[in-house]
């Protein structure tokens, strides 16, 4: 929660946002502890409904641990979890929103197999536009 609040301070009050997500049964979080301490996390929401999509809600890595591969590991784990869920059910894509000025995040997602969706996806409380990116899980209907 502390790391999330700091990592996303420009976007809004993520202490409250993460807190609200993490109380939901259909939201899961994984924490990276490369040296036994909590250095990063990923959060996925499985909201279901007609869309059959999972939402990658947040990934963050402690600043001192960034650019050392932890974000990539968390992203790969998120995709693996979503892909396993897709094989067990009808999940068709893992999607996310990232701020339009977050070029490092967008690059990580793009090189991780996500592609950008054209459209209007709203804005963060901090004023940044939301960019939608998706990772297709099932290619067959």
Ligand X SMILES: CC(C)(COP(=O)(O)OP(=O)(O)OC[C@H]1O[C@@H](n2cnc3c(N)ncnc32)[C@H](O)[C@@H]1OP(=O)(O)O)[C@@H](O)C(=O)NCCC(=O)NCCS
Q: Which residues bind ligand X (CB under 6 A)?
A: 7, 58-61, 66-72, 98, 102, 104-105, 107-108, 111
- Which residue sits closest to ligand X, CB atoms considered? 71
Work out how close the CB of 49 gets to ligand X at its nearest, in angstroms, rounded to a whole number: 22
Hey, is 83 helix, strand or coil? helix
C-beta of 72 vs 77, nearer to ligand X: 72
Q: Where are the alpha helices (DSSP H) in 8-88?
A: 14-22, 70-88
Work out how close the CB of 105 gets to ligand X at its nearest, in angstroms, rounded to a whole number: 3
C-beta of 130 vs 138, nearer to ligand X: 130
Work out how close the CB of 1 gets to ligand X at its nearest, in angstroms, rounded to a whole number: 14
Sheet holding 53-61, edge to edge: 27-32, 40-45, 53-61, 93-99, 130-136, 115-117
C-beta of 108 vs 138, nearer to ligand X: 108
Contacts of 129 (CB under 8 A, 6+ apart): 99, 100, 121, 122, 123
């Amino acid at each position: 929660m502390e790391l999330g609040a700091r990592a996303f301070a420009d976007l809004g009050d993520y202490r409250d946002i993460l807190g609200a997500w993490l109380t939901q049964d259909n939201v899961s979080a994984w924490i990276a502890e490369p040296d036994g301490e909590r250095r990063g996390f990923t959060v996925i929401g499985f909201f279901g409904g007609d869309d059959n999509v999972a939402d990658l809600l947040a990934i963050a890595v402690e600043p001192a641990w960034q650019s050392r591969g932890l974000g990539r590991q968390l992203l790969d784990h998120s995709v693996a979890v979503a892909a396993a869920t897709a094989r067990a059910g009808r999940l068709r894509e893992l999607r996310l929103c990232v701020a339009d000025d977050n070029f490092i995040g967008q690059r990580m997602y793009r090189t991780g197999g996500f592609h950008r969706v054209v459209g209007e996806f709203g804005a963060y409380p901090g004023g940044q536009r939301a960019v939608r990116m998706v990772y297709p899980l099932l290619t067959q209907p």
